[in-house]
Amino acid sequence: MTGRAQLPSWYDDLDGTLAACWNFLARGVADRRSGFHHPVLSSIGLDGAPRSRVMILRGVDIAARSLRVHTDLRSEKIAEWRADNRVSVLGYDAGQKLQIRLTGRVRLHADDAIAEAAWQSSRAMSRVCYGTAPAPGSEIPAGDAFALPHSDNAEALEAGRAHFAAVVIDVASLESLYLAFEGHRRARFSWDAGGALTARWLAP
Ligand SMILES: Cc1cc2nc3c(=O)[nH]c(=O)nc-3n(C[C@H](O)[C@H](O)[C@H](O)COP(=O)(O)O)c2cc1C
């Protein structure tokens, strides 16, 4: 078998590359071993400097071209996204040798049906994080000077609901970089405001 036979079917196929990227992202929601399960999301800090953090990918809607993550409304990134909702999302899966870089805008959902469905889909061990006191990012006098509700206390877990937000990312562009001995493949896909797609190969 030659090296080329090992290459993915979408190696030289722009449409196939885009479909593969969306499928890898969608699989990343449930597959904890996927590099796309915990992408890095970047916002623009209130001082104008970039700020990045790892977040768990909770949902992908390929038809709507959107991703979903969950967070605490009290966290700094929320204030940043309220000021400027642009976001960059970056994931790399070493097994697939594939980097995916996305740009888009976030929508914050705290007290609507989207937030409620996301909250209902969250497990107790995730819900518990939204009941932290004091708020995430607060300075504390010692490493253990914070409290979490116990995960078997339903009432306390429900109290975290007020701090919970589903963050939906409407994707405006997707860039892939596939690493191969035979030659890397880099492609950029972008959608205009009307949803029309432009797809281009780029020199890696
Ligand atoms: C593996 C991993 C997964 C994480 N998942 C989330 C997440 O889903 N949501 C979240 O808000 N923070 C998550 N965090 C914590 C963030 O990286 C970050 O430290 C925290 O949200 C505070 O970010 P901020 O100060 O920019 O708001 C995760 C961290 C790690 C290491």
What is the DSSP code string of 12-61? T-HHHHHHHHHHHHHHHHH-TTSGGGS-EEEEE-TTS-EEEEE----EEE
Q: Where does the chain have alpha helices with state H?
A: 14-30, 76-83, 113-120, 124-127, 154-159
Residue indicated by tokens 């607060």: 138
Pairing of strands 185-191, 40-44: unpaired
- Is residue 98 assigned to a domain? yes
pLDDT tens across 48-104, in order?
999 999 999 999 999 999 999 999 999 999 999 999 999 999 999 999 999 999 999
Domain membership of residue 35 as a residue range: 10-202
> For ligand 1, which residues put their CB under 6 angstroms from it?
38, 51, 53-56, 69-72, 75-77, 136-137
- Is residue 15 assigned to a domain? yes
Per-residue confidence (pLDDT) for residue 183, from 0 to 100 = 97
Residue nearest to atom 6 of ligand 1 (CA): 55
CA of 148 to the centre of ligand 1 (A): 16
- Is residue 3 assigned to a domain? no
CA of 88 to the centre of ligand 1 (A): 15
In percent, the amount of the chain with pLDDT more than 90 equals 86
pLDDT higher than 70, residue 5: no
- DSSP classification of residue 130: G
pLDDT higher than 70, residue 3: no
In percent, the amount of the chain with pLDDT more than 70 equals 98
| Cα angle for residues 126, 129, 130 (degrees, 5° grid) | 105
- Is residue 136 assigned to a domain? yes
Tell me the pLDDT band of 148, cut-offs 50, 70 and 90.
Answer: confident
Q: Is 2 in a helix, a strand, or coil? A: coil
Domain count, the chain: 1
Per-residue confidence (pLDDT) for residue 1, from 0 to 100 = 44
- Is residue 1 assigned to a domain? no
CA of 79 to the centre of ligand 1 (A): 15
Please state the pTM of the whole predicted model: 0.95
- Is residue 4 assigned to a domain? no
The CATH number of the domain where 103 resides is what? 2.30.110.10
